């Protein structure tokens, strides 16, 4: 089955994007006149929903803000297409760039992600955080990850909907779905895409995003291979405990409480990692 003869649904989560949403929808419909364009209005206090509807989009409205991930999930549930395309509503993404990603689905990939370059991030902090996400995900998965958090992507609808129960309601949905596909063995690829400056005011908040930064790192680890992280930590505790025992044995001729603490910690951390690995395996078995 090729993307040239399947239905395409373009899902655009939006919150207070009245300045940009009309142009985003118009461009999407101009590029793909037969596509279903769904704008999920996440409790906007401006005219986002009305402008999107006037531009020709199907609008799904949340009475209150539920989060970007919740908007993506509800957009996917409403979509009828065999292929889902996701993009932001702030004018940074151009729907015409979906063409290269859709071609990758024809090549056998199940998901294709638009990768931003360093100059496309809102600030240095976001660029650094995204780089760290990519490096952690690359080391865990063994596949080069160019942009783990990109919201510009296309994916087979049937597979995407298998993982809806895993997706969070917040902004980390791209991280979650990428790691879920990698964990399940579905091929994904990354293609460079140009990104424009956003229209309107950014929703970025330094403190909130700092906390989200730590949460996403934790999710990347736990979603893919918890034992890959817990095992080295356990080994470090074990080596420290054993080394300290050898030192105290030759210097004081005894086994100390500190050695016992480190050795006990190594066993506990290993067991936590083993249990986490089994829980992760059971979580993904649900999607099979």
Residue 11 to residue 80: CA distance in whole angstroms: 11
Q: Tell me, what's the pLDDT at 1?
A: 41
Q: Tokens 């373009």 map to which residue?
A: 10
Could you give the maximum distance between any two Cα atoms of the chain, in Å?
82
Q: How many helices (H) and strands (E) does the chain have?
A: 10, 7
Q: Tell me, what's the pLDDT at 2?
A: 46
- Model confidence, pTM: 0.78
Question: Is 135 in contact with 211 (CB distance < 8 Å)?
Answer: no
How many Å separate Cα 112 from the centre of its chain? 13
Question: Is 7 in contact with 36 (CB distance < 8 Å)?
Answer: yes
- For 93-123, where are the alpha helices, taking DSSP H only? 98-106
Structure tokens at 148: 């783990």
φ, ψ (nearest 5 deg) of residue 84: -105, 135
| pLDDT by 10s per residue, the chain, length 288 | 445 445 999 999 999 999 999 999 999 999 999 999 999 999 999 999 999 999 999 999 999 999 999 999 999 999 999 999 999 998 888 999 999 999 999 999 999 999 987 555 455 666 677 788 788 878 877 888 888 888 899 999 999 999 998 888 877 788 889 988 988 889 999 999 988 766 655 555 545 555 666 677 776 677 677 888 899 999 999 999 999 999 998 888 888 899 999 999 999 999 998 988 888 777 666 555
Q: Tell me, what's the pLDDT at 73?
A: 96
> Do β-strands 111-115 and 188-192 pair in parallel, antiparallel, or remain unpaired?
parallel
φ, ψ (nearest 5 deg) of residue 165: -70, -20
The secondary element (H helix, E strand) that includes residue 111 is strand 111-115
Q: Tell me, what's the pLDDT at 212?
A: 66
For the chain, give every domain's residue range: 3-212, 226-285
CATH architecture of 3-212: Alpha-Beta Complex (3.90)
């Amino acid at each position: 089955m090729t993307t040239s003869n399947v239905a395409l649904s373009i899902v655009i989560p939006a919150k207070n994007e009245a300045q940009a949403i009309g142009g985003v929808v118009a461009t999407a419909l101009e590029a793909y006149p037969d596509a279903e364009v769904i704008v999920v209005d996440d409790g906007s206090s401006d005219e986002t929903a009305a402008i999107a509807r006037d531009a020709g989009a199907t609008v799904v409205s949340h009475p209150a803000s539920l989060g970007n991930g919740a908007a993506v999930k509800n957009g996917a549930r409403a979509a009828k297409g065999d292929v889902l395309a996701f993009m932001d509503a702030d004018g940074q993404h151009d729907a015409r760039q979906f063409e290269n990603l859709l071609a990758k689905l024809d090549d056998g990939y199940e998901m294709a992600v638009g990768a931003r370059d360093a100059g496309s991030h809102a600030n240095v902090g976001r660029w650094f955080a995204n780089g760290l996400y990519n490096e952690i995900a690359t080391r865990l998965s063994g596949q080069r990850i160019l942009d783990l958090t990109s919201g510009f992507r296309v994916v087979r609808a049937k597979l995407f909907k298998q993982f809806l129960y895993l997706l969070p309601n917040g902004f980390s949905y791209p991280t979650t779905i990428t790691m879920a596909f990698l964990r399940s063995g579905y091929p994904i690829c990354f293609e460079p895409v140009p990104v424009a400056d956003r229209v309107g005011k950014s929703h970025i908040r330094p403190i909130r995003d700092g906390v989200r930064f730590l949460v996403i790192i934790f999710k990347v680890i736990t979603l893919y291979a918890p034992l890959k992280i817990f095992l080295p930590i356990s080994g470090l505790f074990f080596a420290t405990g054993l080394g300290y025992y050898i030192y105290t044995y030759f210097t004081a001729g005894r086994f100390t409480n500190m050695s016992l603490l480190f050795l006990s910690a190594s066993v506990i951390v290993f067991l936590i990692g083993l249990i986490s690995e089994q829980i992760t395996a059971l979580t993904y078995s649900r999607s099979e």
